[in-house]
């Protein structure tokens, strides 16, 4: 299937999920995840009207941002490393994976104003990134008082499951926490389970393989 065909299928899934819960599809932003995706494919995506892209690795993303950055918005969705936070804040418009006050302070050194989300490890999986619930308030408070990182909301990555329905409880829990913390954005759901995430309130879904095909 062509990129155009996959994009249409993704849009249809977004519309169907929204209609099932009475939401306007315009309230959902699809982030095209371009890990390992070529510049040519990204340019084709831009031609199709896609304008929000996401990357998880700084080094891989820089040539893409330098070539195409003026045309689109870039979201960082990978784990933040202290020695790279300032550069990430320099090149990306939004960071979805803040975990600590230290990372927020380091990002401020870029001198740019960016959007920030706190990554929450809802299932408290030790092998995954993200703040456990007991540490969430501290990180959110740091973003709320930051002069250059705007607190936008929360992000989570659901566990790998056989049935997307199994992640509904994770997405529902993030939405509940988001309401209590004043989150505008809920970044949750990927290619396999974004339909369920949208039904539970996702405003941003991170779509890679469903759009660009399976990675090598």
Taking residue 100's Cβ as centre, other Cβ atoms within 10 Å add up to 17
DSSP three-state, residue 178: helix
Answer yes or no: are the C-beta atoms of 42 and 68 closer than 8 Å: yes
**Percentage above 90 pLDDT, the chain:** 90
Alpha-carbon distance 205 to 189, whole Å?
Answer: 5
- Position 162 scores a pLDDT of 92
Q: Where are the alpha helices (DSSP H) in the chain?
A: 3-21, 39-47, 58-68, 85-91, 101-108, 136-145, 168-181, 194-199, 209-212
Domain residue ranges of the chain, discontinuous segments joined by + = 3-211
Q: Taking Cα atoms as reference points, which of 83, 123, 81, 112 lies closest to residue 99? A: 81
pLDDT at 215 over 90: no
DSSP three-state, residue 50: coil
Answer yes or no: are the C-beta atoms of 99 and 121 closer than 8 Å: no
Each residue's pLDDT tens digit, 26-49: 999 999 999 999 999 999 999 999
- Position 79 scores a pLDDT of 96
Question: 70 or 45: whose pLDDT is higher?
Answer: 45
Q: Taking Cα atoms as reference points, which of 100, 67, 110 lies closest to residue 55? A: 67
**pLDDT grade for 126, boundaries at 50, 70 and 90:** confident
pLDDT at 11 over 80: yes
Q: Where are the alpha helices (DSSP H) in 22-164?
A: 39-47, 58-68, 85-91, 101-108, 136-145
- Position 48 scores a pLDDT of 97
**pLDDT grade for 135, boundaries at 50, 70 and 90:** confident
- Position 99 scores a pLDDT of 95
User: 3-211: which CATH number, 3.20.20.10, 3.40.718.10, 3.40.50.2000, 3.40.1440.10?
Assistant: 3.20.20.10
- Position 83 scores a pLDDT of 95
Answer yes or no: are the C-beta atoms of 98 and 104 closer than 8 Å: yes
pLDDT at 70 over 90: no
- Position 172 scores a pLDDT of 97
């Amino acid at each position: 299937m062509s990129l155009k065909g996959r994009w249409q299928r993704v849009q249809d899934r977004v519309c169907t999920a929204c209609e099932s819960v009475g939401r306007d599809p315009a309230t959902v932003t699809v982030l095209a995840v371009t890990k390992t995706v070529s510049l040519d494919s990204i340019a084709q995506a831009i031609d199709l009207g896609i304008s929000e892209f996401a990357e998880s690795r700084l080094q891989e993303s820089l040539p893409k941002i330098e070539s195409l950055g003026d045309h689109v918005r870039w979201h960082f969705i990978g784990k933040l490393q202290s020695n790279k936070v300032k550069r990430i804040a320099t090149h990306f418009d939004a960071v979805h994976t803040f975990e600590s006050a230290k990372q927020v302070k380091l990002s401020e050194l870029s001198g740019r104003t960016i959007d920030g989300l706190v990554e929450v490890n809802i299932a408290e999986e030790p092998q995954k990134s993200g703040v456990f619930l007991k540490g969430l308030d501290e990180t959110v408070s740091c973003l709320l008082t930051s002069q250059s990182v705007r607190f936008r909301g929360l992000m989570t990555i659901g566990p790998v499951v056989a049935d997307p329905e199994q992640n509904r409880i994770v997405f529902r829990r993030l939405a509940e926490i988001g309401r209590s913390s004043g989150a505008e954005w809920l970044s949750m759901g990927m290619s396999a389970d974004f339909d369920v995430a949208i039904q539970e309130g996702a405003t941003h879904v991170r779509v890679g393989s469903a759009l660009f095909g399976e990675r090598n």
